[in-house]
C-alpha cells in the first residue's frame, strides 16, 4: 500500500499520543514523532518500526518549524494545553498546515477562537481545538441532535464513566486548570455557580440512575461558537471524580489488543426547544483511545475534503456531525441519534 502523507504528532510519547500514532499508522499515514524528550521519542520510534523522530520544544520556534516541515497536518496531544496550544498553532500558521488539539481546559480552548481566527483564515488553514472526548464529542453530539434546528432553548450533556484511571497528563492538567469554569446561560458564557449544581440523571444500562455534578469543560467553549442556545450545562457522575481525587488511583491499564483499558463511557445529550425534545446517546470504551480516534478522523476529513474547512472551527462547524459520528460506528462507538 502506498503511504499517505506525513503528520506531525506533538506529544507523541504520551498516553494519548501512543493511541494517535497507532491510529495514524492503521490508516496509512506516516506519523512524525515530536515532543520535548528525544530519548522517549527514540524509544517510541524503536517500538514502532523506526518512525521519524523530531524533538522540539515550545520554547524554540525554530525546532517546531523543523518538526512540522513537510507534514500535511499537526496533531497536538501535549497537555496542559495552556502551555502548548499557542506555540503549536503559531508553528502551524507558519507552515500553513491544519492544526488539531485535545484541550479539555476551557481557558486553553478559548485561545484559538480569541487570538487566531483572522490568522487562520489568512493562512487558509483549519485550527480545531478540543477534538477529543471532552470537548469535541459533546460538540458533535449536540450538533447532530440539533439537526434542522437553528436555535435551542436548553441543552444538557451528561457523561457517566464506570471509573477513571487518570494519566499523569490528566492529573497535571487538572491541577493547573483552576480558572473559574464557564457554562452557557442566558445565551452567554457565565460562571459556574459555586458549589456546582448536582442532580439525578437516568443513563442507559449499565449505569442507570446516577447522581451527577455540573462539570463544564471545553465543549462549552466550542458550542458557544456555533450553537445558539439559551442554556447549556454539562454533568458527570461521581465515581470517576472520586477516582481522580484519590492520589492512589493507578494510571490506565491496557485490557485489549489495541491497548484500550476496560473503562466504559456513556454520553447523553438532551435538547429542549419550545415543547419539542430530542435525545442522543453515545457509548464506547476508554476515553483516551476514543480521543485519538476522534482527532485522527477529524484530520483525515480535513485533508480529504474537496472544500477544505478554513478558520478556527468547532468540530460541529468543521464537519457534518452526523456523518462523522456514524463513520465511527460500530467499531468505536455505539450511537443513538434522533
Number of residues that bind ligand NAP (CB under 6 A): 32
Angle, CA of 29, 34 and 40, to the nearest 5°: 115
**Positions 91 through 120 that interact with ligand NAP (CB under 6 A):** 102, 104
**What's the CA dihedral at 315, 317, 319, 321 to 10 degrees?**
80
Unique residue bearing C-alpha cell 504528532: 9
Q: What is the DSSP string of 122-139?
A: HHT-EEE---SIIIIIHH
Contact residue for ligand NAP among 71, 73, 78, 95 (CB under 6 A): 78
| Nearest CB to ligand NAP, comparing residues 17 and 311 | 17
| Nearest CB to ligand NAP, comparing residues 40 and 230 | 40
| Nearest CB to ligand NAP, comparing residues 103 and 152 | 103
Task: Determine if the peptide bond prior to 284 is cis (ω within 30°).
Answer: no
Q: What is the smallest separation between the CB atom of 212 and ligand NAP, expressed in angstroms? A: 18
- Which residues have C-beta within 8 Å of that of residue 184, sequence separation ≥ 6? 155, 190, 220, 223, 224, 229, 230, 231, 232, 233
Tell whether residue 265 is a contact of ligand NAP (CB under 6 A).
no
Contact residue for ligand NAP among 52, 60, 65, 83 (CB under 6 A): 83
CB 108 within 8 A of CB 84: no
Tell whether residue 80 is a contact of ligand NAP (CB under 6 A).
yes
Burial 121-140 (b: 16+ CB within 10 A, else e): eebebbbbbbbbbbbbbbbb
Tell whether residue 77 is a contact of ligand NAP (CB under 6 A).
yes
| Nearest CB to ligand NAP, comparing residues 35 and 112 | 35
Binding mask 149-188 for ligand NAP (x = CB under 6 A): ------------------xxxx--x---------------
Binding mask 271-310 for ligand NAP (x = CB under 6 A): ----------------xx--x-------------------
| Nearest CB to ligand NAP, comparing residues 126 and 152 | 126
**Positions 5 through 64 that interact with ligand NAP (CB under 6 A):** 11, 13-17, 35-37, 58
Continuous H helices in the chain: 15-26, 38-47, 61-68, 81-95, 106-115, 117-123, 138-146, 168-176, 218-226, 238-245, 287-304, 315-318, 321-327
Contact residue for ligand NAP among 23, 45, 64, 84 (CB under 6 A): 84
Q: What is the smallest separation between the CB atom of 178 and ligand NAP, expressed in angstroms? A: 14
Angle, CA of 160, 27 and 21, to the nearest 5°: 65
| Parallel/antiparallel/unpaired status of strands 276-285 and 264-273 | antiparallel
Q: What is the smallest separation between the CB atom of 218 and ligand NAP, expressed in angstroms? A: 6
| Parallel/antiparallel/unpaired status of strands 264-273 and 229-237 | unpaired
Interface residue list for ligand NAP (CB under 6 A): 11, 13-17, 35-37, 58, 77-81, 83-84, 102, 104, 130, 132-135, 167-170, 173, 287-288, 291
Amino acid at each position: 500500500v502506498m503511504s499517505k502523507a506525513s503528520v506531525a504528532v506533538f506529544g507523541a510519547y504520551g498516553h494519548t499520543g501512543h493511541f494517535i500514532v497507532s491510529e495514524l499508522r492503521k490508516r496509512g499515514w506516516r506519523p512524525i514523532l515530536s515532543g520535548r524528550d528525544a530519548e522517549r521519542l527514540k524509544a517510541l520510534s524503536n517500538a514502532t518500526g523506526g518512525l521519524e523522530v523530531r524533538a522540539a520544544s515550545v520554547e524554540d520556534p525554530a525546532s517546531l518549524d523543523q518538526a512540522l516541515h513537510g507534514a500535511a497536518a499537526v496533531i497536538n496531544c501535549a497537555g496542559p494545553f495552556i502551555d502548548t496550544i499557542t506555540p503549536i498553532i503559531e508553528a502551524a500558521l507558519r507552515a500553513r498546515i491544519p492544526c488539531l488539539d485535545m484541550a479539555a481546559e476551557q481557558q486553553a480552548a478559548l485561545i484559538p477562537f480569541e487570538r487566531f481566527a483572522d490568522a487562520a483564515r489568512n493562512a487558509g488553514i483549519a485550527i480545531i481545538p478540543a477534538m477529543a472526548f471532552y470537548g469535541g464529542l459533546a460538540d458533535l453530539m449536540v450538533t447532530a441532535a440539533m439537526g434542522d434546528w437553528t436555535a435551542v432553548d436548553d441543552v444538557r450533556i451528561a457523561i457517566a464513566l464506570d471509573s477513571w484511571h487518570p494519566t499523569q497528563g490528566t492529573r497535571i492538567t487538572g491541577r493547573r486548570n483552576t480558572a473559574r469554569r464557564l457554562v452557557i446561560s442566558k445565551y452567554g458564557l457565565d460562571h459556574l455557580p459555586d458549589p456546582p449544581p448536582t442532580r439525578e440523571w437516568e443513563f442507559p444500562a449499565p449505569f442507570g440512575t446516577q447522581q451527577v455534578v455540573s462539570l463544564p469543560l471545553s465543549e462549552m467553549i466550542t458550542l458557544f461558537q456555533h450553537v445558539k442556545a439559551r442554556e447549556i450545562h454539562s454533568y458527570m457522575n461521581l465515581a470517576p471524580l472520586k477516582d481522580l481525587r484519590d492520589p492512589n488511583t493507578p494510571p490506565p491499564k491496557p485490557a485489549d489488543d489495541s491497548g484500550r483499558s476496560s473503562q466504559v463511557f456513556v454520553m447523553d445529550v438532551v435538547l429542549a426547544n419550545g415543547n419539542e425534545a430530542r435525545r442522543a446517546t453515545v457509548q464506547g470504551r476508554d476515553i483516551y483511545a476514543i480521543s485519538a480516534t476522534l482527532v485522527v478522523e477529524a484530520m483525515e476529513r480535513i485533508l480529504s475534503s474537496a472544500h477544505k474547512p478554513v478558520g478556527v472551527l468547532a468540530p460541529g462547524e468543521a464537519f457534518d456531525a452526523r456523518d462523522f459520528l456514524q463513520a465511527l460506528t460500530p467499531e468505536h462507538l455505539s450511537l443513538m441519534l434522533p
